[in-house]
Structure 1
Amino acid sequence: MALELIPYHKKRVLIIEDMAEMRTSLKSMLNNMGVNLMETVGNGEEAIIKLSYNNYDIVFSDYELGRGKDGQQVLEEMKASGKMPASTAYIMVTAAQTVEMVMGALEYEPDGYIAKPVTLDILRTRLNRIIRTKEVYREINQFIDRKDIDGALEACNRLAVERPKFALPAYRIKGKLLLNEERYEEARDIYDTVLGIKRVAWAVLGMGKVEFQQGNYEAAQKLLEGLTRTKAKYVEASDWLAKALEAQGKYKAAQQVLEQAVEQSPKAIRRQQALARLADLNGDADVMFKASKKASILTKNSAFRDADNQIRYAKALQKVLKYGGMREQKIASKEAMVALESVKTVTDLTSLQLLKCGLVEAQTLFNSNREDVARIAYSGSLAMMGDDLQLSPDDKLDLLAAKLVMEDEASSQAYAATLLNEIGNDPRLLKKYYGVLDFHLIPDPQKRHALLKQRGAELLQLKDYEGAWEIYYKATRLPITDSDCQIAALQAAVGLYREGPRSSERLQLTNALFGELQDMSNNDPHYPELEKLRLQWTRQTQEDDDQSTTG
């Protein structure tokens, strides 16, 4: 298409911009280019409504839109809903050049970007180029908009044959269509063909998705790990890598992958929700709190608002409610109740979600000094537990957390003992189980210390040095700690350092712990073991220092 023949007078345009001056300026420049059919909105929420009920040829969206949704979130939501036609050109207009903006924009693939300040010449040049590129895929997009997938696939084939310059982009679209249609073997053939010609990142990602969907989790992991190491802009690879790791039971590794991914692109709503869910599975309350809070903020008035995430956010706030300062407790109580009230507005909640919401509501009320109302809410929650409600071990751990607050010690401990027997030797669930008990015992240092020492000894016996170190070191931070606990923590540290991986933070903590025991008398019964550990530690760390020096 010749640039001068672009029929802008026929194009319907939506401008999403919170600044009135910029809206006026863009309208004036577009009018100068021949655009007559223009609408404007001042925020992301209005944009979602407009885009959901109208079709536009071109959308200009500012990245920063003041309060509420930004341009990235509008694009993410519209792509997920499928309500914006594939033929629409979505263009981000932004003055921001932060890593957060760049990664977010790359991830959701707008058709183009225009940097502020925008001049008529810049606008004309960039828009002409974007529209001309969009025209290349017009036939494919028309079939997609008509939901004629076979027609779109054939159009991809024609484009690849007739215009070889666009063969790889055509195959990329074809691969995505086949994945969406769950035609995995055909998608595999596409990615095999492309990778046989050139190792492009999107084909590696596509093949990783195929391997995952077909249950080849280790193969998916291998492909996706390589991609996340070499192609930072393919943050989506982290999502699928986390899924592949979780499918293999590698929950901690899956969480770590998503933690790194949200640092790159923190406004990705569903990734934050996925991180909160994994952190919950791992019993990592701090990460669950951060991720669920971020997701809760991002999903305000959003189609991605998730009942489970709101329940997790309210659950994560219990730590502040129980042990925070008075002002913090007041804020946390309000936020928890708002989150839980938003859950109750969902019309299709499952019985399990209703149970979990009720349990967290009861704890919130109890920890907000409203014990009578809390007991009513707790009784109402238990009434939902019919014989047909199947609770997973994780669900039962949530129930245990509520029982420890709401029931007498004998009843809750009896339930804890039964649950512990059911959990068996599952490392993840055991860690989470003892985490629930540990959290409950924070006000009772004596019992908490005894619990930590008991669990630490079990892990040390199993040579789970990482788990033992984590537990014992926590115990050494209690005011009532003893030499037994400190020595055991050092035993775990030495064993863990020997096995690897090495951590500079743990190295510093261990050195500091040795320092805390430097004044131990040689008459102390622990002294020989301390000196033995100190010698082993010195040898191990000295060897590493020597290797790094000579290397």
Structure 2
Amino acid sequence: MALDLIPYHKKNVLIIEDLAEMRSSMKSMLANMGVQSMETVNNGEDALAKLAMNRYHIVFSDYELGRGKDGQQILEEVRHSGLIPASTVYIMVTAAQTVEMVMGALEYEPDGYITKPVTLEILRTRLNRIIRTKDVYREINLAIDKKDINGALEACNRLAVEKPKFALPAYRIKGKLLISEKRFDEAKDIYDTVLGIKRVAWAVLGMGKVEYFQGNYDEAQKLLESLAQTRSKYVEAFDWLSKVLESQGKFKAAQKVLEQAIAESPKSVLRQQELARLAELNGDMEAMYKGCRKATGLSKNSVFKNADNLIRYAKALQPKIKHGSMRDQKIAISEAFGLVESAKTEFHLSLSQMVKCGLVEAQTLFNSGKTLEGKMAYRAVSTMIKDSSALSLDDQLDVLVAKLQFEDEPEAQAYGDDILKKIGGNRRLQTKYYGILDFHLSKIPEARLELLKRRGSELLSIKEYEEAWEVLYKATRLPCADVDCQLDALKAIVNLYKQGERSSDYLGQANELFNLLQNMDSGDPRYPSLEKLRLQWAEQQPDDEQSATG
């Protein structure tokens, strides 16, 4: 399409901009280019209402829109809800392309950016280029808008043949369409073909998705890890790698991967919510709090706001309510009640969600000093959980937390023992179970030590040395820690080093423990075990690195 033949007089345009001067300037420049049909709005809510009612050929959206939804949130909502056709040109207008902004918005694929200040020449040049590129895919996009997937796939094939320089983009669209239709074998053929010609990031990502959907987790992991390690802009690779790891039962690794993704692109609501969910599954209250807090702020004006994240956030606030400063407690109490109320009034809750709401409400009352009110609230919710079979094991562990708080110790412990039998060999749930008991015993160090020693010994027996070290090293920090606990911790770290898991933190912590035991009497029956561990530890150290083992 020749630049001077773009029929701007036939284009219907929406301008989303909160500054009146900028709206007026954009209208004036577009009129100069021949645009006759223009509408403007100054906030996200009005923009979504317009987009729901009308079809626009071109949408300009400012990134920063003051209060309410910002440009990224509008874009993510229209993509998620299908409010704009595939053929619509969507352009983000921004004063400064920060890394956070670009990475966040890129995930929802705007057709282009224009950086302020915008002049007529800049607008004309950028818009001509964007429209000309978009027009290449016109036939494909029109078929997608008609939900004619086979027609869109055929249009992709025609584009690849008729315009070879657009073959790779055409195959990219085709692969995504095939995955959306669950035609995984055909998608795999596309990615095989592309990767046979050139290793491009989107094809690696697509192949990783296909392998994941087909249950080939090892292959999916290799592909997605290779893409994540390139530090490319494919942050989505981290999301899918996290899914793959979770499907393999590697929940902590999945959480760690999402934390890396968030460091790259922190403005994704869904990613923050997913991190909070995984952190809850792992019993990582601090990471759950951070993820929930960020997700709640980002989803305030987003279509992705949901009850689960609100309830999870209220739950994550409990340590602050119980142990925080007076100021932190006051803020956290008010916030927790507000979150629970929002969940109950804004969403239709399932039984599991109603139970969680009731439990966290009772805990908030109890932890804030309203003991009687908390117990009454717990009794009210306990009537809903007489049959625990309707709840997941994770939900039942939430009930255990409440039982330990509100019921007699023997009754709560019996409930916990029953859950532990149901958990069986599930390592993640075992870890969460012991984490709950560990927190419950935080003010009874002797009982806490025995719990940690028992769990550490179990983990050593199944050669899970990393988690054994985490548990046993925590036990050695207790004021009542004993020699047996310290020796078991050293067994864990020595074997962890033998497996190749090393860090400066591990080195310093292990040497500290060896130092604590350096005056053990040679007549102590445990002395030979200590000497054996010293020798094994020394063998694991580089020649140029002196450790406390001597």
Task: Single out whichever of 104-113 and 507-516 deviates more from structure 2.
Answer: 507-516
Tell me what 1:189 maps to.
189
Name the counterpart of 2:344: 344
Tell whether 2:138 aligns with 1:142.
no
Residue in 2 that maps onto 1:14: 14
- How far does the alpha carbon of each residue in 1:339-361 deviate from its partner, in whole angstroms, 9 at most, with x for none? 21121124432212211221222
Cα pair distance change 1:117/1:277, threshold 3 Å: same
SS of 1:384's equivalent?
Answer: helix
| Deviation per residue, 1:292-337 (Å, 9 max, x gap) | 2211111113210122122211111111111111111111111212
The match for 1:367 is 367
Aligned equivalent of 1:320: 320
The answer for the alignment partner of 1:508 in structure 2 is 508
3-state SS in 1 of match to 2:66: coil
State which drifts further: 378-387 or 398-407.
378-387
1:473-531 deviation line (CA, Å, top 9, x unaligned): 21222333334433332332222122222122222333344455567677877666555
The AA in structure 1 aligned to 2:22 is: M
In 1, distance between residues paired with 2:150 and 2:459?
57
1:157-209 deviation line (CA, Å, top 9, x unaligned): 22222222212211211221222122223222322332233222212222222
Cα deviation 1:22-53 (Å, max 9, x = unaligned) = 33332332222222322233333333333233
Task: Tell me if structure 2 keeps the 8 A contact 1:201–1:231.
Answer: no
Q: Match for residue 46 of structure 2?
A: 46
**1:382-427 CA distance string (max 9 Å, x none):** 2223649522222211111111112111211111111122222322
Letter in 2 for 1:374: G
Of 186-195 and 523-532, the range deviating more from structure 2: 523-532
Query: Per the alignment, do residues 49 and 516 of structure 1 end up closer, same or farther by CA in structure 2, a change over 3 Å counting?
Result: farther
* Aligned mates of 2:197, 2:372 — CA distance in 1: 70
Q: Quote the residue 1:180 is aligned against.
A: 180
- Matched with 2:27 is 27
In 1: Cα distance, 2:489 partner to 2:180 partner? 50
Deviation at 1:124, TM superposition (A): 1.1
Residue number in structure 2 paired with 1:161:
161
List alignment gaps of at least 5 residues for structure 1. Answer: 547-551
CA distance in 2, matches of 1:40, 1:524: 83
Q: Equivalent residue of 2:369, what SS?
A: coil
What letter is aligned with 2:536? Q
Q: 1:519 to 1:37 in 2, by over 3 A?
A: farther
Relative to 1, partners in 2 of residues 1:514 and 1:53: Cα closer, same or farther, differing over 3 Å? farther
In 1: Cα distance, 2:505 partner to 2:51 partner: 49
* Change over 3 Å in CA distance of 1:387–1:517 after alignment to 2: closer
Alpha-carbon distance, 1:58 to partner: 1.4
Shift of 1:438: 0.9
Counterpart of 1:223 in structure 2 is: 223
TM (norm. structure 1) is: 0.93
The percentage of counterpart residues that share the same residue type is 67
- Over 3 Å counting, the alpha-carbon distance change for 1:257 and 1:138 in structure 2 is same
Distance 1:64 1:543, change over 3 A: farther
Contact 2:73 2:302 in 1 (8 A): no
Residue equivalent to 2:112: 112
Cα distance in structure 2, aligned partners of 1:243 and 1:296: 22
Distance 1:341 1:544, change over 3 A: farther
> Quick check: 2:388–2:396 contact (8 Å CA) kept in 1?
no
Q: State the Cα deviation string for residues 440-471 of structure 1 (Å, max 9, x = none).
A: 12222232222222222322333322112111
- Tell me the secondary structure at the aligned position of residue 542 of structure 2: helix
Gaps of 5+ in 2: none
Aligned to 1:56: 56
Query: Which position in structure 1 is the counterpart of 2:381?
Result: 381
Secondary structure of 1:91's aligned partner? strand
Quick check: 1:430 aligned with 2:465?
no
* One-letter identity of the residue aligned with 2:129: R
For residue 220 of structure 1, report the CA deviation from its aligned partner: 1.8
Which residue of structure 2 lines up, in the alignment, with residue 249 of structure 1?
A: 249
Conservation of the 8 A alpha-carbon contact between 1:44 and 1:74: yes
For 2:191 and 2:201, the matched residues in 1 are separated by: 11
Give the structure 1 partner of residue 450 of structure 2.
Answer: 450
Distance 1:396 1:94 in 2: 48
**Distance in 1 between the 2:388 and 2:489 partners?**
45
Aligned to 2:85: 85
Aligned partner of residue 124 in structure 1, secondary structure: helix
Instruction: Name 1:289's counterpart in structure 2.
Output: 289
Answer whether contact 2:307 2:347 (CA < 8 A) is retained: no
Partners of 2:19 and 2:389 in 1: how far apart? 52
Q: 1:384, 1:322 → 2: CA distance?
A: 26
- Distance in 2 separating the partners of 1:71 and 1:107: 13
Cα distance in structure 2, aligned partners of 1:230 and 1:213: 23
Q: Is the 8 A contact 1:107 1:233 kept in 2?
A: no
RMSD: 2.3
Name the counterpart of 1:395.
Answer: 395
Report the 3-state secondary structure (helix = DSSP H, G, I; strand = E; otherwise coil) of the residue aligned with 2:300. coil
Q: Distance in 1 between matches of 2:444 and 2:289?
A: 24
Is 1:270 matched up with 2:270?
yes
Residue 538 (structure 1) aligns with: 538
Pairing 1:128–2:133 present: no
Q: Which amino acid aligns with 1:489?
A: A
Counterpart of 2:385 in 1: which secondary structure?
A: coil
Partner of 1:151: 151
Distance 1:198 1:330 in 2: 58
The farther-off stretch of 70-79 and 503-512 is 503-512
Amino acid aligned to 2:191:
Y
In the superposition, relative to structure 1, how do residues 317 and 122 fare at CA in structure 2: closer, same or farther (>3 Å)?
A: same
Contact 1:321 1:368 survives alignment (8 Å) = yes
* 1:208 corresponding residue in structure 2: 208
More deviation in 137-146 or 516-525?
A: 516-525
Q: 1:332 maps to which residue?
A: 332
Q: Secondary structure at the match of 1:230?
A: coil
Contact 1:469 1:492 in 2 (8 A): yes
Q: In 2, Cα distance between the equivalents of 1:337 and 1:61? A: 36
Alignment match, 1:413: 413
Q: Is 1:103 matched up with 2:116?
A: no
Q: Does the 8 Å contact 2:143/2:149 carry over to 1?
A: yes
- State the secondary structure of the residue aligned to 1:113: strand
Cα distance in 1, alignment partners of residues 369 and 48 from structure 2: 41
Would the alpha carbon gap of residues 118 and 526 (structure 1) be closer, same or farther in structure 2, given more than 3 Å must change? Answer: farther
After superposing the two structures, state which structure 1 stretch, 391-400 or 515-524, moved more. 515-524
- Quickly say closer, same or farther: Cα 1:544–1:312, change in 2 above 3 A: farther
- CA change 1:65–1:522 in 2 (3 A) is farther
Provide TM-score, normalisation by structure 2. 0.93
What's the counterpart of residue 466 of structure 2?
A: 466
